Amino acid sequence: MAELTITDQNFDSEIAQSKMPALVDFWAPWCAPCRIVGPIVDELAKEYEGKLKVGKLNVDENSQTAAKFGIMSIPSILIFKNGTPVKTIIGAQGKEKLKKEIEEVLGS
């Protein structure tokens, strides 16, 4: 699956109205921990294809959506179910930790 870029303009159609649970990585190009998490998020997108929609939102270019969800620290990963954030993971986390969080949401 190609990387899904989330913007202020497409957030509602891609995430809020998604029938599938979704993970959004809030990041910025200048953020070193974000560059560590980015490839992990890409791997998760492939692993959970068909079960979880995965996208990335650049907070510098899409401040409206970042503000809406109170993003103060990046990287922040929000997992949405029925358009509502059900989990927030702040800071660089390893793949296993993220998988555990995803499995909890998919299993609920």
**Known catalytic residues?**
31, 34
The secondary structure of the chain, three-state, reads CCCEEECCCCHHHHHHCCCCCEEEEEECCCCHHHHHHHHHHHHHHHHCCCCCEEEEEECCCCHHHHHHCCCCCCCEEEEEECCEEEEEEECCCCHHHHHHHHHHHHHC
